[in-house]
Structure 1
Amino acid sequence: MEVRKDKEIIDRILNKGVEQILPSKEALRELLESDKRIRIYQGFDPTADTLHIGHTVGMRKLEDFRKLGHHVIFLVGDFTARIGDPSDKTAARQMLTKEQVEENMKLYKEQASNIIDMDNKENPVEVLYNSQWLEPLNFNDIIHLASKFTVQQMIKRDMFQRRLETNKPIYISEFMYPIMQGYDCVMMNVDVEVGGNDQLFNMLAGRDLIMSELNKEKIVLAGKLLETSDGSKMGKSEGNMIKMNDTPEEIFGKVMAFTDDQIVDAFELLTSADLDEIDEIKKRFESDENPMKLKKELAFRITSELKTEKEAKIAEEYFETVFQNKSIETELKEVTVKEKEYNILELITEVELAPSKSQARRLVEQNAVSIDDEKIDDWQMSITITKPIVIKVGKNILKITQDN
Structure 2
Amino acid sequence: MSLLSNILSRGVERIYPSCEDLERRLLQAPLRLYNGIDPTGPSLHIGHVVALKKLREFQGLGHQVVLLIGDFTAMIGDPTGKFSVRKTLTEKEVQSNMERYVSQIGKILNLEKTELRYNSEWLGTLSLRDIISLLSEFTVGQMIERDMFQERVRRDEPIFVHEFLYPALQGYDSVALDVDLEVGGNDQTFNMLAGRTLMRRRGKEKFVLATKLLTDPTGKKMGKTEGNMLALSDSPDDAFGKIMSWPDEMLPLGYELLTNQDMDEALGRIESNPKAAKEALAKEILEWLWEDGAGARAQESFTERFSKGKISGELPVVEVERGTLLSDAVISSGLVESKSQWRRLVRAHAVELVGGKTIDNPLYRADKNLQVRIGKSRFLQVVIL
Normalised by the size of structure 2, how large is the TM-score?
0.80
Note closer, same or farther for the CA distance 1:176–1:238 as it changes in structure 2 (3 Å cut). Answer: farther
1:229 aligns with 2:232: no
Partner of 1:88: 81
Aligned to 2:280, which of 280, 290, 297? 297
Change (3 A) 1:177 1:12: same
The CA distance in 2 between the partners of 1:141 and 1:67, in whole Å, is 37
Letter in 2 for 1:230: T
Number of the residue aligned with 1:44: 37
Structure number with larger C-alpha Rg = 1
Partner of 2:235: 247
Partner residue in 1 for 2:109: 116
Check conservation: 2:232, 2:290, Cα contact below 8 A. no
Q: Write the mapping of 1:4-403 to structure 2, written as runs, cut at 5 A.
A: 8-34=2-28, 36-119=29-112, 124-212=113-201, 214-271=202-259, 273-274=260-261, 277-286=262-271, 289-326=272-309, 328=310, 333-334=315-316
User: Which deviates more from structure 2 when the two are superposed, residues 36-45 or residues 235-244?
Assistant: 235-244
Distance in 2 of aligned mates of 1:330 and 1:147: 61
What is the distance in 2 between the residues matched to 1:164 and 1:204?
A: 23
Deviation at 1:156, TM superposition (A): 0.7
- Cα-to-partner distance string for 1:101-142 (whole Å, 9 max, x where unaligned): 0111111111001111112xxxx1000000000011111111
- Please tell me the residue identity of whatever aligns with 2:296: K
Equivalent residue of 2:222, what SS? Answer: coil
Q: Residue deviations 1:133-175, cap 9 Å, x none?
A: 0011111111111011111111111100111111111000000
Aligned AA (1:244): L
Residue aligning to 2:325? none
Q: 5+ unaligned residues in a row in structure 2: which ranges?
A: 318-378
Change (3 A) 1:253 1:153: same
**Structure 1 residue 317 displacement after superposition:** 0.8
SS state at 1:106 partner: coil
Partner of 1:360: none
**Residue identity in the other structure for 2:138:** F
SS in 2 for 1:54: helix
Contact 2:17 2:208 in 1 (8 A): yes
Q: What code does the residue aligned with 2:163 have?
A: E
**For residues 233 and 399 of structure 1, what CA distance do their matches in structure 2 show?**
26
Number of aligned residue pairs = 320
**For the residues of structure 2 that align with 1:319 and 1:53, how far apart are their CA atoms?**
20
State how far apart, in whole Å, the 2-side matches of 1:196 and 1:332 are: 40
Partner in structure 2 of residue 372 of structure 1 = none
Residues 85-94 or 277-286, more deviating: 277-286
Once residues 166 and 314 of structure 2 are traced to their aligned partners in structure 1, the CA distance between those partners, rounded to angstroms, is 43
Q: Please give the secondary structure, in 2, of the residue aligned with 1:185.
A: helix
Query: SS where residue 333 of structure 1 aligns?
Result: coil
CA distance in 2, matches of 1:283, 1:309: 27
Aligned-partner SS, 2:35: strand
Q: Is the 8 A contact 1:9 1:64 kept in 2?
A: no
CA deviation map 1:303-331 (0-9, x unaligned):
111113411111001100111112x2599
Spell out, residue by residue over 1:306-361, the C-alpha distance to the aligned partner (whole angstroms, 9 max, x if none). 113411111001100111112x25997237xxxxxxxxxxxxxxxxxxxxxxxxxx
Give TM-score, length-normalised by structure 1: 0.76
Three-state SS of the structure 1 residue aligned to 2:232 is coil
SS in 1 for 2:316: strand
The root-mean-square deviation of aligned C-alpha atoms, in Å, is 1.9
Cα distance in 1 for residues equivalent to 2:119 and 2:146: 24
Amino acid corresponding to residue 258 of structure 1 in structure 2: W
C-alpha distance in 1 between matches for 2:156 and 2:380: 46
Could you list the structure 1 runs, at least 4 aligned residues long, displaced by more than 2 angstroms after superposition: 235-239, 283-286, 328-335
Letter of the 1:106 partner, please give it.
Answer: E
Which stretches in structure 1 are left out of the alignment for 5+ residues? 1-6, 336-397
Contact kept? 1:249, 1:318, Cα under 8 Å: yes
